[in-house]
Structure 1
Amino acid sequence: MTTKTDPAMQDLKPTVWIGKQGCTDAAVEEIVAQLKKRKTIKIKWLQNTDVDPETVAAAARAVLVEVRGRTMVLTEAAKKGKK
């Protein structure tokens, strides 16, 4: 995770919401689809939902950029062999 806040990340609107069922397989599939479209996405989750951002990032094969409260920012992982 980065410690420096990028102003562009603050302007991102959440594109995925994790509800009371938690991070389901369907939510992970949606995260992967959103990452293919946008490269960087913001995810929010409900206050009464227990979500581990690092687990979500690993399940989506993404890089966890930042976590603030109940919001995380993920970016697409770099592909091997790509320069």
Structure 2
Amino acid sequence: MTELSSKNIKQLKKESHDLNPIFQVGKNGVTDNFIEQINDVLEKRELIKISVLQNCLEDKDDIAQEVSEATGSNVVSIIGNTIILYRESTTNKQIELS
């Protein structure tokens, strides 16, 4: 996991604006299968949004930290109940950070 500069974070926020959340975290919280699916999608897309539902018992900051550590990704931002994650793809690089 590489550190993102403020310039990179700004760029990623801009690129994530039109994205819809791909995953939802509900009352079951974060599971191994959930992490596995996020890993697969991060490799394909690099930038994803995760929605934290109202019935989730865990704190959204804790979820972001847990998913980030488990997937080796960076938390770009947490806006409301939406977490934005970024991880550079090894095989399908789409986003060029300046």
The TM-score, its normalising length taken from structure 1, stands at 0.79
Q: Would you say 1:10 and 2:17 are equivalent positions? A: yes
More displaced 10-residue stretch of structure 1: 50-59 or 37-46: 50-59
Letter in 1 for 2:53: L
Aligned to 2:34: 27
Correspondence list, 1:1-83, <5 A: 4=10, 6-49=13-56, 50=58, 51=60, 52=62, 53-77=64-88
Letter in 2 for 1:28: I
Aligned CA RMSD, in angstroms, stands at: 2.1
User: Secondary structure of 1:74's match?
Assistant: strand
Give, in whole Å, the separation in 2 of the partners of 1:16 and 1:29: 12
| Higher share of residues assigned helix | 2
Name stretches of at least 5 consecutive residues in structure 2 with no aligned partner.
91-98
- Relative contact order, CA 8 A, sep 6+: which one is greater? 2
Measure how far apart 1:48 and its partner are: 2.4
Measure how far apart 1:77 and its partner are: 4.7
The TM-score, its normalising length taken from structure 2, stands at 0.69
